Structure 1
Amino acid sequence: MSTFNKGDKLEILRTTTTTNITPAWFPATVIDSPSPSGTLHVKFTTLFVEKNRKNGTRKRKKIKDYVSLTAGVIRRVPPPEPHRRFVVGEEVEVLYGCGWRRAVVKEVVEDGRCTVVVGGAVEVVVENRNVRVCCSTASGFDSQQEKSTDELVLQSPKPTKLRIICSKQNSKAAFFQKGARVEARSYEEGYHGARYVATVVGTVGEAKFLVQYDTLTTDDQMQPLVEMVHVSNIRPLPPIIRREHRFNMLEEVDAWYHDGWWVGVVTKVLANLKYVVFFWTTNEELELHHLDLRSHQELINDKWVASFSVRFTFRI
């Protein structure tokens, strides 16, 4: 059984009278540790109540409530996937009416939006940042996300090296079966050092696989690109590392650029969660937002190793 602490971010399943589509998961913050009676005091992030002041004006205050830990209505906030691409017919969750609700993608629009049908009744156009993968229903507060060893929360801003040990069942054979999600590395001119997210769609002998890319298309841009890749150039998706602090100067990172992840190093830390990143494979410097970066990780001897300080000498 997990323990919640003051300040933890959660989502609470509840209904509202503001919309006829129910229920929804509403973002909230823990106010106090769980009580002996098994309830949790929370303050909602997007739900408000209006109260009258003595001078006749009205004031909006965030709703506070007590939620039972055993009612199956509490879950951890799922990790963000800012570059996730959705497909028609996919079941998702959409931020609608101040909460996350189940929906189905009806149409994908090229400008970073999609049309979804919420609750099987309401059709709306939303930005992709307000759409996410459909999360599993909470089982009390002992969510699968807490049990996973593939997600880390970093709380120390000090440069360090983190070793992530995966279980033995995460062998290449298991990861690279048909349908496995992978990252494929390219050595073509102009793409050296980039990795692209793809899905394994077939095998060619024992050492090569057919992969279908998420973001790369054929020359006519009509179909997703499918190509044969040697086993040495693909790897499973790296574990999610949730950054509680900003990236540091000279920290090695992966940057989302030109539809793939490129290895670079932070050369400047700017305001508004922005950075300047240098790419040694292309000799470029770009200004990027925090959400476009992730900690660089390498799969060494079937173990994920994340380095939070640059591993080479670099002159600015």
Structure 2
Amino acid sequence: MSVVRTMGLGLVTTIVILCVVISGANGDAMVSGSVFCDRCKDGKLSLFDYPLIGIKVSISCPGRDGQLKVISEETTNWIGNYIMRFNGAPDMSGCRAQVYGDGQGCQAVAGPAQSLNLVFQMFDTEIYTVDHLISQPAQPMSNCPRSSSPSPILSPPPSNPAPVPQPPKLPPLPPVSFLEASACPYRYRMWMMPEYECYWRVLTPDLKVSFVFGPLAAQKYGNDITLRGSMMGRGDPYKTLLRESTTALLNSYNSLQFPYHPLDVVGRLNAALLGGSTRQVLMTALRFLRANSGNPGNVTCKFTTCK
């Protein structure tokens, strides 16, 4: 298993942008990227890092005087992504994205700016992506791997930093360890049993599919179906895909050893919907079904009753 499980983010970013294009955006420029908390302060993404939710990102472009001026701001969503749209498809090759403000749970300060990369241009539509924006806490996490050549990306904290607000108290964790291999399929309906409700990490049953999986999923499944409702789908390739995708997403949040990262699950579902092929939909659903059933490796479901 790759140490850096966040590499699927590039696929998610591309899929999300294409969804916007499909939904009817014409003559626009769009910018998309993601923000992560670099908990080890090593300047790169690792399995210890996580997306920053609700953090602000600005786009600055050169004005007539050559000085950079902020032209737009956006806040990252629940998977750390942001998307900005600009009318008229302006040339944004000299613009830069910058994260600023504190990241939720990261106690981070603004990281370095990143240039915009033009990845698509057609029908007066331009799509730009931004390399990962990384913020860092004042001190690295205590159990980070040792590195012979650390590469901090931010300036050292001030000698007398302002007091940092304490993060909110989290609910008790499920009995099974996040580091332990576990895969729980849909067919046992354990995800829907009250005694196992603590295994809904990050997500809740009443979250909308459109919010979790994005605009293309909303276009296909509607805006009203919840994750709870998506677990009931059967008898149709697209409903099966959504059911197994939701199950895979839950498994990915409960076991570090699950074959798919949460962002990878979201990206693969959108890729299947975007392909428009029933065969691709069924193949993606089958891959998730196999992973949810513990293959490869004959992994079992490690659920125990929540306390």
TM more than 0.5:
no
- Structure having the higher helix fraction is 2
Higher relative contact order (CA 8 A, sep 6+): 2
- The answer to which structure has the higher strand fraction is 1
